[in-house]
Structure 1
């Protein structure tokens, strides 16, 4: 990238409610990341939101000291030409697809969640083919660009880009590590710079350890503090406490999403209560989104509103801005990213994607070695990675048997006829966004498979 002409950034899924936070992060870092132009890209179904948030983004820049132009387009290829950085934050099927991912498993008494269990696998089935199309466009139109992904499931999407897209200039991001490093120092009465962090695992399935600036392991001290105060969870995860004895035994802190695995019974109970009363998380987010976009319409609003913190992905965008600035200015900032393992986690192959602490600079990620995990966590990690690889393979090939293998191996999907019913109904429900499974879906429909949950069935 030529630093003399300034930086061109393209955001795919630009009509997202998170975009104002992305703009805030770029404005804050302009002196080290001199942006020339930003292109926000969306699809026809997202045109109205793109126009609303695009106007909001331009007001944010106009209120800053910097002259940056926001371009809006529904033509991805027009935007990608000569881009330096491409960020991806899209949701195939929009929020209605997430409602289906959550409600259909819930109907059968299983966990319905955006990135975990049955719903997470179907989000990957929809997202992986689209990200691979984006990569093919990038190879032609901006072959030197970096792809910074936070489209979920971020780890699987990043793995697909590297494994099947053959594109190594990519990093996946998540807000969960960011929130941990913001919350935990406060619980100890310290600042972030007073602690040293090491993360390892998979996206939404990692653990971390903490040391003080003298190198002393203080993980158990942090565990004690978290049990006394704020657990630092995103808004989309219900706060069921971990078992303290378990955390002390492993001497690591699991990410918030581990509650779905370590406390499945309680998380399922809470999820089903929401399903039967106020609606699933996706239904709640639709209301939050509507409120945010009403705020964004205000011609006098030129800064990120506080209500954005209600979204479960708060701080995703800020992590993306720091990653981009670190690559551009070769800052070697320590950031938690999904990237190729390269030996950082010896319990997994070197060529697969892991989520780890890394130093980010002009050459990408230099991973911090974590070392072998304890017995229980090693077993979990290897099982989950095999499930991810099967899910990605199914997303690419459209093979029903591979999808079934992924389902059966997922610990949040109890194997048997009910799991098959859930999978088949999700195929039919998402027919519009699963062209690679067209033959399978036609067969299922011919066999009379229909969606049983009334809300999910009525969504386009």
Structure 2
């Protein structure tokens, strides 16, 4: 594998998360010798703004003569000769994310971009485009690795598994890292000493243990006690966003009510759907918060650079989001066998769960890709039951996409654990069909 003068493609280059990825690339350049960053996006305006920002970042680090930054809306130009493709596409943009969130809320259901029926809407919209990205990479850079951040991860990875079972691709989510970073920061731990054991589906899982090599023991019991007694606090990069503090508060509640495992905070949408809906404003959802926050700040950064303003121009802090995906690339290039939480086909990793489920478990990453860890224990009936229902619903949704099946879509919507009955599932499905015309496949 080529390990010098690498070409890094960011698919969804206009995303507000791109500066965080570039920041991580710059920080890791001694380990990842890249000479080109290519921004690929179908929205040339957003891509142009991001090119300005990335160029500014490179100048700040005196790398403008060593690293070229390019943008393109043409897939061949973008992907040809690439080494890594970081995929973070959002099909339909924030406008359609708002639709995903507000239609369920109108009916008293969870309105969220990856969970509940909003996540299913987003999933059906995304499958076609993520498969197209994979096809482009197979055609123009067959030796490249795709590191995928595109949501909803389990649905996306299930679709890719069916069409491209042998693709050089890692599907990852940074939510587990955010949970770990928050715990380590709040309670004074060093996360670099941890070897966590986690299992689930994407945004739907639990930590069984967190072994700390610095003290040579599992510190999960004391972490759970601290969370129960003290709770968790919002991170600096989410400061001012009360929805994140509410998420950490719900994580503490789940930990107290279902002791023995540390949950992913997204489980609140399934275990306490009515309570989460009560906290949501059906007229001003997370999409609106992002539009008025991160999106606005990004446009302002580009304006300042374009108009040669002085002073503090760069205004972003995305925590570990960018570093996590860059670290995986480093682990592949250098064959480091670093340990990451990845979405992989189960194949016995969780012994008492169906083999073809796309699960999120620890895996070692090297030149040959992911080597998932076999947990070597049966998960509890409670966790297994929750996961089996969620997995069946997601597989039915992917069936609906490939079979153009209205019936399979309705089954998936009805089975979703945020939905109380088939009547409301059908009403929301029919509204989403209208809202997603031109994005979804035609369902018959």
If the length of structure 2 is used for normalisation, what is the TM-score?
A: 0.90
**1:36-435 matched pairs, under 5 angstroms:** 36-43=35-42, 46-66=43-63, 67-208=66-207, 209-213=209-213, 215-227=216-228, 228-230=230-232, 237=244, 238-239=246-247, 240=250, 241-248=252-259, 251-271=260-280, 274-276=281-283, 279-288=284-293, 289-299=295-305, 305-309=314-318, 315-370=320-375, 371-434=377-440
| Preserved contact between residue 297 and residue 315 of structure 2 (Cα < 8 Å) | no
- Counterparts of 1:14-53 in structure 2, within 5 Å, are 14-43=13-42, 46-53=43-50
Q: What 5-or-longer segments of structure 1 have no aligned partner?
A: 441-460
Q: Report deviation, 1:328.
A: 1.1
C-alpha displacement at 1:56, in angstroms?
A: 0.7
Report the alpha carbon displacement of residue 333 of structure 1 after superposing the two structures with TM.
1.2
Task: Give unmatched runs, 5+ long, in structure 2.
Answer: none
* 3-state SS, counterpart of residue 431 of structure 1: coil
The offset of 1:195, in angstroms, is 2.9
Secondary structure of the equivalent of 1:366? Answer: strand
Q: Specify whether residues 80 and 166 from structure 1 end up closer, same or farther in structure 2 by C-alpha distance, changes over 3 A only.
A: same
Aligned length: 425
Tell me how far apart the structure 1 counterparts of residues 223 and 399 of structure 2 sit (CA, whole Å). 39
Root mean square deviation, CA, Å: 2.1
- Residue 350 of structure 1 and its aligned partner are, at CA, apart by 3.3
- Contact 1:185-1:195 at 8 Å conserved across structures: no
TM-score by length of 1: 0.87
Once the two structures are superposed, what CA deviation does each residue of 1:60-119 show, in whole Å capped at 9, x if it has no partner?
122224311111111122211121111111111110101111111111111111001111
Cα pair 1:124 1:395 within 8 Å, conserved: no
- For the structure 1 residues 224 and 303, does the alpha-carbon distance in structure 2 shift closer, same or farther, using more than 3 Å as the test? farther
Answer yes or no: is the 8 Å Cα contact 2:201–2:359 preserved in 1: yes
- CA drift at 1:244: 4.1
**How much has 1:291 moved relative to structure 2?**
2.6
- Are the structure 2 counterparts of residues 136 and 122 from structure 1 closer, same or farther at C-alpha, using a change threshold of 3 Å? same
Specify the alignment match of 1:449 in structure 2: none
Deviates more, 1:135-144 or 1:165-174: 165-174
Do the aligned partners of 1:358 and 1:366 also contact (CA within 8 Å) in 2?
yes
